[in-house]
Amino acid sequence: MDDDLFSVAGDEPAPRTLSDRNRDHRAPLAVRMRPRTLEEIVGQKKALSPGSPLRRLVAADDSRTSPSSVILWGPPGTGKTTLAYVVASSGNREFVEISAVLAGVKEVRDVVDAARSRLRTTGRETVLFVDEVHRFSKSQQDALLPSVENRWVTLVAATTENPHFSVISPLLSRSIVLTLESLDRDDLAVLVDRALTSPHGLDGAVTLTDDALEALLRLGGGDARKILTSLEAAASAALMEQRTEIDAQILAQAVNRAAIRYDRAGDQHYDITSAFIKSMRGSDVDAALHYLARMIEAGEDPRFIARRVVIAASEEVGMADPTALQVAVAAMQAVQFLGMPEGRIPLAQAVVHIATAPKSNASYKALDAAIADVRSGRGGAVPPALRDAHYAGASTLGHGEGYRYAHDAPHGVLSQQYPPDDLVGVDYYEPKQIGAESVTAQRVSALRRILRGSE
């Protein structure tokens, strides 16, 4: 019987909860909504393209043509575990999961021994999923080598860190590395809609307002698992209040975060990005960090933020502190290497460096001025002395004639015409007397005097 034996006739019904609607599905929403086939997976079009290693691994028509080891590299919530489950479910394989955080060498060897025994006695293959493989020590990774080499297991390893730095070379050489991309907004919206309506999910128990949907996708930061976990918390909160609609306020309360106004496709996106750049340009380090925090908390793509920081290093700081570009590029690479949330740390360092550095836009203004002249038609033929003289017949055309080799001069600089005739004496670069560029300004002045024969 489905009746509640402990209810009393006439009592008010208890508030509905998610467990009421999913009595046999106690697992978290993110687990219940895990795709069971490749066709159900959203996003990752490149990794799942026809003929890709994952496709061949799932098909497994011929073990000689399918990879024996795959390393899935990508940010959290991009489907690494899901892909491992799909691989295991194909071909009736045994699925064994171990965590690099908890397992030691003994546990790895026990799993491999069991897989060998299973393969020998039943012929059933084993998919060994190693989560956070970058946390395995060298000895632990070494313990995996024989099983991969002899195909005792099909290894599917997952990592959020660059495997070229965190996985030993012998294992890496025996594996195919697949890079998974963060899911875009449309992909995540499909997952949310599926979770709201699927019998495995919320089964129509609640709906989302447009504002709540935007806030949910934003706060998830491209992490599908995080988004589904937040949705489940918000749905529980709404149903406990006997409400069937989740608005932005319920969502914010459920996930204990402010519903930050930040439309990634609208004015807020452009306004905050503009304020971020202008704060770095204006040397207000505190304001720059504030806008950085707002972008990070709103789930802005960290690669977008890193690109803006790199641009600012050249556009706003330039030659006044040439190390700013090095710091910015290093931060961009660190974000790709670390992922989020750790990537926020090098981003903050780069923003502080740029905001507090001396400022000069002279180098990029110089290029813009040169581009303007080129577009207006200025710039004639290359001086004969500078033309290519390395092919037969060049000397008869006078190419290279009279060229003076700069390294023959005492300081590596000598008087010689480099620009076309109509641009002789044109100064594009006007260095500022700020920071390191003040020294560059003195050097440029001296170089021009020598090049133009004025000393």
Q: Phi, psi (5° rounding) for residue 252?
A: -60, -40
pLDDT confidence tier of residue 325, bands split at 50, 70 and 90: very high
DSSP-assigned states of every residue in 225-292: HHHHHHHHHHHHHHHHTT--EE-HHHHHHHHTS------TTSHHHHHHHHHHHHHHHTT-HHHHHHHH
Q: Which run of H or of E encompasses 30?
A: helix 29-32
DSSP single-letter state for residue 135: G
List, as one string, the DSSP characters of 55-86: HHHHH-S-TTTS-SEEEEE--TTSSHHHHHHH
pLDDT, tens digit, for every residue of 19-73? 343 434 568 888 888 888 878 888 888 878 877 777 777 775 545 555 678 888 8
pLDDT in tens, 99-112: 777 777 888 888 88
Q: Which residue, among 93, 95, 184, 165, has the nearest Cα to 131 in the 3D structure?
A: 95
The tokens for 101 are 């955080």
Side chain identity at 170, as an amino acid letter? P
Residue, of 155 and 298, whose pLDDT is higher? 155
* Residue 8 predicted with pLDDT over 80: no
CA nearest neighbour of 88 among 52, 129, 49: 129
The pLDDT value recorded for residue 351 is 94
Sign of the alpha-carbon torsion through 17, 21, 22, 24: positive
- CB-based contact 387:394 (threshold 8 Å): yes
Report which secondary-structure segment, H or E, holds 191: helix 185-197
**CB neighbours (10 Å) of residue 131?**
20
Provide the whole-model pTM.
Answer: 0.53
Name which of 291, 315, 319, 316 is nearest 305 in CA terms: 291
Check pLDDT > 80 for residue 18. no
Q: pLDDT for 370-404, tens place per residue?
A: 999 888 888 888 888 777 777 666 666 777 778 88
Residue 266 has pLDDT above 60, yes or no: no
Tokens of 253: 């309360």
Rounded CA separation 387/375 (Å): 22
Question: Token pair for residue 316?
Answer: 């706003």
Tokens of 191: 């997952």
Q: Where are the alpha helices (DSSP H) in 282-406?
A: 285-297, 302-312, 323-338, 344-356, 362-375
308 falls in which pLDDT band (50, 70, 90)?
very high
Of the candidates 251, 263, 266, 339, the residue with the CA atom closest to the CA atom of residue 294: 263
Structure tokens, 296: 């990070």
From 120-129, 195-204, 384-393, the region with the lowest mean pLDDT: 384-393
